[in-house]
Amino acid sequence: MSADTVISLNLATTREVWGFAEAVDGCLKAGITAISPWRDQIAAIGLDEAARIVKENKLQVTGVCRGGMFPAETAEGRQKAIDDNHRAIDEAAALNADCLVLVVGGLPGSSKDIAGARQMVTEGIAAMLPHAKASGVKIAIEPLHPMYAADRACVNTIDQALDICETLGETVGVAIDVYHVWWDPYLARAIARAGRMKRIFAHHICDWLVPTTDMLLDRGMMGDGVIDLKGIRAMIEAAGFDGPQEVEIFSKDNWWKRPGDEVLAVIKERVATVC
Amino acid sequence: MSADTVISLNLATTREVWGFAEAVDGCLKAGITAISPWRDQIAAIGLDEAARIVKENKLQVTGVCRGGMFPAETAEGRQKAIDDNHRAIDEAAALNADCLVLVVGGLPGSSKDIAGARQMVTEGIAAMLPHAKASGVKIAIEPLHPMYAADRACVNTIDQALDICETLGETVGVAIDVYHVWWDPYLARAIARAGRMKRIFAHHICDWLVPTTDMLLDRGMMGDGVIDLKGIRAMIEAAGFDGPQEVEIFSKDNWWKRPGDEVLAVIKERVATVC
């Protein structure tokens, strides 16, 4: 990593052991001054208190997780999603977050029309954009691994996300999570394109384990899997993004069971050596 | 489907209940005259006997599964893979198969160098190609779903496979399995490109279940999942391929436990209605 790379803790990583306030305490003790909270964690402590903690401790909030989930079978369902995204924008604004991260949603109901779902995503982001702009909140589309295309996110590559960004303007960019994109044969080209467009808003890290025993909750600690983390970071820095590396590990049988302080110590060691 | 679409049974679909000869008997009884066997199934009955059965019953062999698995840590390992692919070519030739299907292999050993693994794949196919050409065997690269990039196949999209095909000549094409590619945001464009290159050598079908409970062995029967099978078939036919739809279902907890005759009856009904 670059000598000055900053670590951000995505609070999903310690969600089973720490709430918002405990996670901030743990981070500060470990010398980590950037976080990315989830909305349920913000709601649990209250938005005002979360904002107070962020301000008082001069924390960088690298993202709020998450908006999105646009596709729905009915117009009412889609409007409900947009309303929820407006609330997410307000939360991101209150925390002065670098961006609101979007997990865009998959196929609605029993639909087999993935092109239609993708259209709903573009329209949903377009609908939330005026409020986001008025609030000064940047929107980061997070392409998710293709194994989540049906049920979580029908935006599955950086290039596809950038195609959407091009139609929506400069405040819509991408959150690049290595877990979701490491396999992409056109990754280097896509990251360079994102850089030229100035649309890299976040960089998330973890690792892909072999074998992977659970499609959602078996992500690895950096260094324990097969992802070339240094290589991807170099691409991202060459593309002009030198913001924090945000550590987001969903790991129900391993890291989620460990004490938060221990997890942070391992993260710091791994970021220093393999990222 | 087109009125004249032919079904091929990939013998993995009935592998727990039928060997090569039993599967052929079951297919003929069901009016199915195309198959795609796996090499272990050929070995179990013997190549000569398998070839005799194919010839005697005038079966179309839509593919032999599988060659590939090129990446290895040592030159000796890579040569061993090429030697094995030479034997696979001989088997495909003996069965007069439409193609030898390649599952190209993933990262060798503890490597994190996916670009390097991909280079080994291209070099491995190039090395086996003279023998394939001399034997009249076409080679079909099967792009596998990105969730297999680490441990099974580092070729993960049709476009990526076609890039390799372009460097190797007209006898190297693609096997398009809907399970692996349905999510691709550029699928229509990629299939059209494959058609212009005249490189669609096989079309495999099954379905993507929601939820998917096992990354390898929980594929669905056509119609039970979210894939737009008719839509993809239309793209493939528009691209010039009107060969059989080859049914390949890995399903350890459902279809693999049912009697073969029942599985074939459901396949026939589903191909007639949803494919």
pLDDT digits (tens, 9 = 90+) for B44-69: 999 999 999 999 999 999 999 999 99
**Are B228 and A118 in contact (CB < 8 Å)?**
no
User: How do the pLDDT tens digits run along chain A, 275 residues long?
Assistant: 444 569 999 999 999 999 999 999 999 999 999 999 999 999 999 999 999 999 999 999 999 999 999 999 999 999 999 999 999 999 999 999 999 999 999 999 999 999 999 999 999 999 999 999 999 999 999 999 999 999 999 999 999 999 999 999 999 999 999 999 999 999 999 999 999 999 999 999 999 999 999 999 999 999 999 999 999 999 999 999 999 999 999 999 999 999 999 999 999 999 999 99
- Cβ–Cβ below 8 Å for A146 and B147: yes
Side-chain half-sphere exposure of A196, counting CA atoms within 13 A: 9
Q: Is the pLDDT of residue B91 over 90?
A: yes
Best of B122, B147, B275 to disrupt the A interface by mutation (most A CBs within 10 Å)?
A: B147
For residue A55, the model assigns a pLDDT of 98
A53 close to A59: Cβ distance less than 8 angstroms = yes
Which pLDDT belongs to residue A4? 56
Angle at CA A163, nearest 5°, toward A84 and B155? 110
CB A34 within 8 A of CB A10: no
Mean confidence (pLDDT) of chain B: 97
Give SS3 for A82: helix
Candidate from A111, A118, A185 with C-beta closest to B160: A185
Which residues does residue B141 pair with via DSSP β-bridges, in sequence order? Answer: B102, B174
Q: How far are the Cα atoms of B32, B49, B133, B197, B226 from residue B55, in angstroms, in the given order?
A: 15, 10, 22, 31, 38
* Separation between Cα atoms, residue B185 and residue A154, nearest integer Å: 9
CA distance B13 to B264: 9
Q: CA B185 to CA B200: how far, in whole Å?
A: 19
Listed in order, strand segments (DSSP E) in B60-207 are 60-61, 64-68, 100-103, 139-141, 172-177, 200-205
Query: Confidence class of residue B194 from pLDDT cuts 50, 70 and 90?
Result: very high
According to DSSP, the residues that pair with B7 across neighbouring strands are B245
Is B112 in Cβ contact with A150 (below 8 Å)?
no
8 Å CB contact between A1 and A231: no
Q: Is the pLDDT of residue B2 over 70?
A: no
Residues of B in contact with A185 (CB under 8 A): 118, 155-157, 159-160, 163
Residue B132 has pLDDT above 90, yes or no: yes
Q: What confidence score (pLDDT) does residue A2 get?
A: 47
- What domains does chain B contain, in order, with CATH numbers? 7-274 (3.20.20.150)
Mean of pLDDT values over B148-165: 98
Predicted ipTM?
0.97
Q: Which residue from B minimizes the CA distance to A208?
A: B150
**Distance from C-alpha of A183 to C-alpha of A208, rounded to nearest angstrom:** 10
pLDDT at residue B1 in the model? 44
* Cα–Cα distance measured from residue A180 to residue A147, given in angstroms and rounded to the nearest whole number: 9
